[in-house]
Structure 1
Amino acid sequence: MPYVFPRAFVLVLLLAVGCAPLTNSPQSQHTGKMQNATPENTAVNASCPVSAAPSAVTEKAARNASKPEQQDLAAEATGSDADLKQPLEEEVQADVSSNATDKEPALTQAEKKALESEAEIQFDLDVRETERMQKFFRYYTHKHRKTFQRWLKRAEPYLPHIRKVITEKGLPQDLVFLPFAESGFNPWAYSRAGAAGLWQFMPATGRHFDLRVDWWMDERRDPYASTQAAAEYLSRLYGQFQDWYLALAAYNAGEGNVGRALERSGCDNFYDLASSRRYLKSETRNYVPKFQAILKIVRNLEELGFEPIDWDASPEPSQVAIKGGTDLMGLADATGMSWSEFRKANPKFRRTVSPPDASYQVQIPAPKVAQAKAYLDGPRAQKMAGGKRYRVRSGDSWWRIARRFDVPLTALMRLNNTRSKMLHPGDSVLIPVSGEAARARVAAQDGEYVVQRGDSLWELARRMDTTVTKLRRANNLQNTTLRVGQRLTIPGGSQKAKTRQIAQRRSNYTVKKGDTLWELSRRFGLSLNTLVQANGIGRSSALQVGQKLYIPDRGRTTQVAKAREKAAHQRLVRYTVRQGDNLWTIARRFGVSADALQDWNNLGKNELIHPGDNLRVYIQ
């Protein structure tokens, strides 16, 4: 009786001799829509290995990604503390072939005329492709008309820049509208396979075209940087295939997939290739007809009853350079922008802190540029109001803290500007947070707070200028255990919000560069408590240039305040922090207390200082 080999042994043997089915490498994945080979493709690959067409991204480069980057992406995949991501709308992924039995609406004369219009890229469709194109045309002009009108409005801020880049590259103007087919012009759109942005780049392809994709940021979501990358990629694909049909199919499915399909089929053009289901997936076969339908609509908007595109609706915002580790939430506050407004203008950032290892440009409305530059030149730009402080406990390590807050270890240590693995109980560690977590902290000032991962009652009490006992009493807590998502009432929070509103109406002082709460209290002859209570803020609140404050009895105390200010500045010493310094060693050097140093420089109780920081020290 012949010996029957176990199935596992056969599989190992097949792998050893190289007969396993070939998998699609990163270079063949552009949008990720061709993530898995078709059954037919798998069979051909297993038996007849073929050479792939030239590729924009090598599989070796994808495999050789650095370990820190792999850690960053692993943390990203967990989804904790994640930033805003939106799935592709179903209208982007529509497959009209499934609607074959639906009753087709009759075409109006305007629609018939629009279908006869010619695009810049000449599409020579056969009868089957023409039917598919007409189905997409009806789909967007009838069934999902409101969706397409919404896409048109969403596209207006980006179209002028895209047209400029496409023109500079010498590409057909029709390609300006390709993001309609890719994402519906949504910078936040993510496909199931991980493609992202207006142009739906996969991570490996995006990195090949110098788009940063990691835990800190995703430049595939940057409409400006990704447009430049898309223009380069489209130009390269046309140079490779010398045919716009094949170039567009390759943009959708990946040039590796299209190149292999051409070799297997023996075809030399898109329509012969697309005539069979054997070589390309349905999405790619539909891609060219769908894009042509979109072009016929956008070229005849008014005739079809759509609102025309306003090409001058949104001028390009001004760009401002920021250093690594800039507090983006603080920058938004300083310019009078909400975090939602700032994030909409700068979708590439995934955290409220910019990457600490590089400088970048941010998009700021032109009227707000001066405010942004004033903030960035001040001492608060790297103080991290958009982050959170964690007090090191006994037994903590960098690895444990990173795991507790779901932050990549390399990102955490980089943000805290250290390579040392040593931590001591009582040390303060900065934790970067997403916009969602930061907004929860801001909401706490209005009386309610949503618990985030890593929060404790002690930390919340310190941050909200209250006590653990008051927090427990206000929320009827039997113990100190908190759960993520739990809503807490902050004692005095709503009252502070009312006080801030009153203070804004009665404001009589505008914060200037270099001001601190402690210095203002001395200047105007007030106690620090009186000043913060009058404005509904905390003792450690950060002041922003241009912020309005209410100074009680300012006129009556002016003379006394000037005398005190003059005396104080006669004893003022400015000290530049050196490597190895901390507040305690600096305080001992000048014979003052660490608490005084914190008050003089508006530092939080556990706020870190860094080499190069300038501190005020008042000596006798």
Structure 2
Amino acid sequence: MKQISRFLFSLSAILFFGNFCWAQQHIDSLAVQVTDTMFVSADTTFSADTTDFFSMEPDDKLNAIFSEKMDSLMGSWDIQKRFNLDTSEVKLLDYPRNLPDSVYLKRLQDIEQVIDLTYNQVVKNYIKMYTEKRRDLVEVMLGLSAYYFPVFEETLDKYDMPLEIKYLAIIESALNPTARSRVGANGLWQFMYGTAKNMKLEITSFVDERRDPVKATDAAARYLQKLYDIYGDWHLAIAAYNCGPGNVNRAIRRSGGKTNYWEIYYRLPRETRGYVPAFIAATYAFEYHKEHQLIARYPEIELSVDTVMVNDYLHFNQVCAKVNIEKEELRALNPMYRRDVIPAKQSKPYPLVLPNDVILDFVGLDTTIYAFEREKYFPNNTLINPTTSTSSYFTPVDIKGKAKVVYTVKSGDNVGYISSWFKVRASDLRYWNNINRDMIRVGQKLAIYVPEKEKDKYEKVNAMSFAQKQASIGKSSTPTKARETKPLDPAYEYYTVRKGDTLWDIAQKYAGISADEIMRLNNLKNDRGLFIGQKLKIKKKS
């Protein structure tokens, strides 16, 4: 047992900002006039010569959209309980309002930073939202930042990256480790599935490391560093983190090769235009929260925690039955476990985070805890019994009333074939056997659940030849059909897939190209769509 530095309280039960990729999706109608004096760098001395720039008027509908979301989330019972927010309390009325532009600009200039903190009316609109219009939310995030920022800073320092990158998580998730966007981005750093897998984050039916504060932060730092290596500019790297390098590259091309974020601003996707301004404003708000009389609010819950390594299957219910901790708190401290199950083994232990006041009880009672209703939660010491998901993830079919058949994998088999022979969903087959990325091996024993009355029929599948198994479902006996080859588009550069290639590996061979962009160009969902000899579109020829 060692003192936890890897984890500082995660409020998975708090659902404020499940879709906090918020502003960038609504900043598409800014009423501005593009001029040479439109944007003022924090490295620029403020003067009256910039008054044309300050005549810009952003669309204030943006803040209305924010307010609607925040009012709904901040008024939730769970936030009121955990943060003890008294809805009847008197709001502070004498905080600074409507500061002159020269004050904002001077303060941004005074922040010690590597990333340029440009100031303009779009940025100002975000600053006013943080410091005037939604002070309640900012005060909650200030409280959370006291726990998460040390984790972020340690990781950013490890990779020698600007520490102000930590403020990007404010824009991504509002520091909610279980935030989930409408398009499936997940966690503090809002990773999509494909990007997360390419960054070596584990995502299975039981574990989602996008929701692990330490591992997700490490992946985000590595990904941002790669983007910076491509562009040599943090504004562009941050924009690419939001919309992908492909969209940034197109904006650069359509702007005649310009590589300044503000010069390609209107060439970027609508949802990305507010991303950098919101980042700059968040940096300002957190650096100058005292000047705006913003006071951090801390959740009323035990935050002194430690971690132990678990090396056997463990259900949260087993822990709660023997240790004085509520399941919601256990979930909050361990947001990476999807189904209240830790799928640990001797060969692959997993961390369990507990409050300090109960961790010694857990260590002293670990044998009793593991044994508590063992057969109920892990029949035959397996993970096959479906458990309740803590989110809207895939839920397997109920195996009650079904018979178990054991199938031995043969040469030429794959998950698709086997699921069709036994007439079960491929997703169920993966879940029952903890299969990751459809990786199975010859000789592997697979548990499959079939209707009891058809058990004898399906037990015979083991002894069938490939041709017989295919014939049983009315399919050809040819193991693999030759894939149709489409004519190549002469306007694109192509890559020929080799043995062992992944989309991430291929993307690394080309500057400015992401795995997500390759998937989009080739209508792929993930690496499973690759085959040796395949011709992949990479980018348009210059």
Match for residue 299 of structure 1? 287
Aligned counterpart for 2:374 among listed residues 377, 380, 383: 383
Aligned counterpart for 1:318 among listed residues 303, 306, 311: 306
Contact 1:326 1:384 in 2 (8 A): no
Alpha carbons of structure 1 residues 165 and 396: separation in structure 2 relative to 1, 3 Å: closer
Q: Tell me by how many angstroms 1:138 deviates.
A: 1.3
Contact 1:186 1:197 in 2 (8 A): yes
TM-score normalised by the chain length of structure 2: 0.53
Residues 404-483 of structure 1 aligned to structure 2 (within 5 Å)? 408-414=428-434, 419-421=446-448
Which residue type is aligned with residue 324 of structure 2? G
Contact 1:133 1:292 in 2 (8 A): yes
Aligned counterpart for 2:175 among listed residues 185, 189, 201: 185
Contact 2:315 2:341 in 1 (8 A): yes
Alpha carbons of structure 1 residues 382 and 232: separation in structure 2 relative to 1, 3 Å: farther
Q: Tell me by how many angstroms 1:135 deviates.
A: 0.9
Alpha carbons of structure 1 residues 383 and 124: separation in structure 2 relative to 1, 3 Å: closer
- Is 1:87 aligned with 2:18? yes
- Which string of whole-angstrom CA distances, capped at 9 and with x for unpartnered residues, describes residues 409-432 of structure 1? 2322459x9635588969xxxxxx
Equivalent residue pairs, number: 336
Q: Report which stretch shifted further, 335-344 or 381-390.
A: 381-390
Aligned counterpart for 1:350 among listed residues 323, 330, 338: 338
Residues 501-516 of structure 1 aligned to structure 2 (within 5 Å)? none
Distance (Å, rounded) in 2 between the aligned partners of 1:300 and 1:170: 25
Q: Tell me by how many angstroms 1:367 deviates.
A: 3.1
Aligned counterpart for 1:290 among listed residues 274, 278, 281: 278
- Is 1:157 aligned with 2:147? yes
Contact 1:157 1:314 in 2 (8 A): no
Equivalent position SS for 2:273? helix
Which residue type is aligned with residue 258 of structure 1? V
- Is 1:341 aligned with 2:341? no
Match for residue 145 of structure 1? 135
Which residue type is aligned with residue 185 of structure 1? L
If you compute each CA radius of gyration, which structure gives the higher value, 1 or 2? 1
Structure 2: 5+ residue runs without aligned partners? 1-12, 31-57, 64-94, 379-384, 387-397, 407-418, 436-443, 454-542
- Which string of whole-angstrom CA distances, capped at 9 and with x for unpartnered residues, describes residues 386-421 of structure 1? 576988547787989x99999722322459x96355
Match for residue 131 of structure 1? 121
Contact 1:330 1:385 in 2 (8 A): no
- Which string of whole-angstrom CA distances, capped at 9 and with x for unpartnered residues, describes residues 14-50 of structure 1? xxxxxxxxxxxxxxxxxxxxxxxxxxxxxxxxxxxxx
Aligned counterpart for 2:114 among listed residues 104, 121, 133: 121
Contact 2:302 2:355 in 1 (8 A): no
Which residue type is aligned with residue 431 of structure 2? A
Match for residue 371 of structure 1? 361
Which residue type is aligned with residue 178 of structure 2? W
TM-score normalised by the chain length of structure 1: 0.47
- Which string of whole-angstrom CA distances, capped at 9 and with x for unpartnered residues, describes residues 342-401 of structure 1? 10000010112223664211212233222223343445178165576988547787989x
Match for residue 55 of structure 1? none
Distance (Å, rounded) in 1 between the aligned partners of 2:449 and 2:399: 14
Match for residue 32 of structure 1? none
Which residue type is aligned with residue 411 of structure 1? Y
Which residue type is aligned with residue 374 of structure 2? K
Contact 1:356 1:414 in 2 (8 A): no
Alpha carbons of structure 1 residues 393 and 247: separation in structure 2 relative to 1, 3 Å: closer
Q: Tell me by how many angstroms 1:198 deviates.
A: 0.8
Which residue type is aligned with residue 199 of structure 1? W
Q: Tell me by how many angstroms 1:201 deviates.
A: 0.8
Equivalent position SS for 1:157? helix
Match for residue 201 of structure 1? 191
Alpha carbons of structure 1 residues 274 and 107: separation in structure 2 relative to 1, 3 Å: farther
- Is 1:329 aligned with 2:317? yes
Match for residue 247 of structure 1? 237
Equivalent position SS for 2:204? coil
Match for residue 234 of structure 1? 224
Distance (Å, rounded) in 2 between the aligned partners of 1:106 and 1:301: 11
Contact 1:327 1:381 in 2 (8 A): no
Alpha carbons of structure 1 residues 156 and 411: separation in structure 2 relative to 1, 3 Å: same
Distance (Å, rounded) in 1 between the aligned partners of 2:302 and 2:114: 27
Distance (Å, rounded) in 2 between the aligned partners of 1:287 and 1:252: 8
The higher relative CO (CA closer than 8 Å, separation ≥ 6) is in: 2
Q: Tell me by how many angstroms 1:169 deviates.
A: 1.9
Contact 1:331 1:375 in 2 (8 A): no
Equivalent position SS for 1:188? coil
Report % sequence identity: 25
Q: Tell me by how many angstroms 1:175 deviates.
A: 1.0
Residues 30-179 of structure 1 aligned to structure 2 (within 5 Å)? 87-89=18-20, 93=24, 95=26, 98=29, 100=58, 102=60, 107-109=97-99, 113-118=103-108, 119=111, 120-123=113-116, 125=118, 130-179=120-169
Q: Tell me by how many angstroms 1:237 deviates.
A: 1.5
Q: Tell me by how many angstroms 1:84 deviates.
A: 9.8
Contact 1:206 1:220 in 2 (8 A): yes
Which residue type is aligned with residue 409 of structure 1? L
Residues 269-280 of structure 1 aligned to structure 2 (within 5 Å)? 269-271=259-261, 273-275=263-265, 277=266, 279-280=267-268
- Which string of whole-angstrom CA distances, capped at 9 and with x for unpartnered residues, describes residues 470-500 of structure 1? xxxxxxxxxxxxxxxxxxxxxxxxxxxxxxx
Alpha carbons of structure 1 residues 147 and 218: separation in structure 2 relative to 1, 3 Å: same
Which residue type is aligned with residue 203 of structure 2? V
Contact 2:318 2:372 in 1 (8 A): yes
Q: Report which stretch shifted further, 252-261 or 224-233.
A: 252-261
Alpha carbons of structure 1 residues 176 and 124: separation in structure 2 relative to 1, 3 Å: closer
Distance (Å, rounded) in 2 between the aligned partners of 1:159 and 1:188: 17
Contact 1:186 1:198 in 2 (8 A): yes
Which residue type is aligned with residue 285 of structure 2? I
Equivalent position SS for 2:374? coil
- Which string of whole-angstrom CA distances, capped at 9 and with x for unpartnered residues, describes residues 132-182 of structure 1? 101111122222222222222233321221122122221112112211111
Which residue type is aligned with residue 412 of structure 1? W
Equivalent position SS for 2:353? strand
Which residue type is aligned with residue 226 of structure 1? A
Q: Tell me by how many angstroms 1:243 deviates.
A: 0.9
Match for residue 507 of structure 1? none
Alpha carbons of structure 1 residues 112 and 383: separation in structure 2 relative to 1, 3 Å: farther
Q: Tell me by how many angstroms 1:113 deviates.
A: 2.9
Contact 2:242 2:272 in 1 (8 A): yes
Which residue type is aligned with residue 186 of structure 1? N
Alpha carbons of structure 1 residues 165 and 316: separation in structure 2 relative to 1, 3 Å: farther
Q: Tell me by how many angstroms 1:109 deviates.
A: 4.4
Structure 1: 5+ residue runs without aligned partners? 1-82, 427-620
Alpha carbons of structure 1 residues 393 and 246: separation in structure 2 relative to 1, 3 Å: closer
Contact 1:111 1:304 in 2 (8 A): no
Equivalent position SS for 1:158? helix
Contact 2:23 2:275 in 1 (8 A): no
Equivalent position SS for 2:175? coil
Contact 2:139 2:296 in 1 (8 A): no
Distance (Å, rounded) in 1 between the aligned partners of 2:206 and 2:357: 28
Contact 2:402 2:452 in 1 (8 A): yes
Match for residue 200 of structure 2? 210
Which residue type is aligned with residue 114 of structure 2? I
